[in-house]
Structure 1
Amino acid sequence: MTPQERAERAAETMLAKDSASRDLGMKITHIAPGAATLTMPVTAKMLNGHQICHGGFIFTLADSAFAFACNSYNRLTVAQQNQITYVTSGKADELLTATALETALSGRSGVYDVMVTGEDGRIVATMRGLSRTIKGQLFPEHGDDT
């Protein structure tokens, strides 16, 4: 299995069990080893009292992109820490895009940067995610789960 095939199968397996991302309308538009891009439409139910996208939904999109990127090696990986900075607002009825890229991976620890953009290309938020690999795999491979 090539690294790209592994990333694709890991994303497919993970998405099938990820009702949170699916129920929010997220779609994976790109997956590769250490990278993922997801989109999410901003619906009326996601708007806060200012009629802009609630930051929690923007964070959830960024966190999901981070999760798909760091699990692309078929090694169970969880968030250890995330920090998000909101730059501009998410608008009603627009499609947000989160692009996660691995910037460092050493042993069981990884660092991922996520950029959330609006349809017009503006930066909505940036997030840095720190990951930790735990025991197990998303799908059986090589006869073990390490």
Structure 2
Amino acid sequence: MDTEQVRLVPGGPESGEKLAARHRRYVGLSSGRMYRVTLADGGETVGSVGFWERSWRDAPIWETGWGILPEFQGRGLAAAAARAIVVEARAAGGHRYLHAFPSVEHTASNGVCRRAGFTLLGQAGFEYPKGHWITSNDWRFDLTGGDDG
């Protein structure tokens, strides 16, 4: 993880124990999916992207998030992965909206949301990781093709 990423993740990098616990949560998702982001020219894994169910403002939604290894950033891979996850969340059905909640300071992830076609709804207090509150941007994609997306 590069210095910029560490600065933008509340609590800093995850310990091996926390990383393993997060992996178990992803494997055990009862709704939603996690995917590897791979290079088209050889299949090398360069990150991950996924969506999962959560309640937001008293309504069920899909939430999404992604991560690309530092040496592969700046190539448009995260935006392509975010566009692909929109397709997967739409196919999964169940919720009208897919949201992303990057920190207001995380310019790269906010740019990914913009390039992937999400609509910025504004800022919100957001708990990430659990026990750490941040100010995030609330980006939304309307999976029905309605008012945004």
TM-score (norm 2): 0.33
Which one has more relative contact order, counting CA pairs under 8 Å at least 6 apart? 1
TM-score (norm 1): 0.34
More helix by share: 2
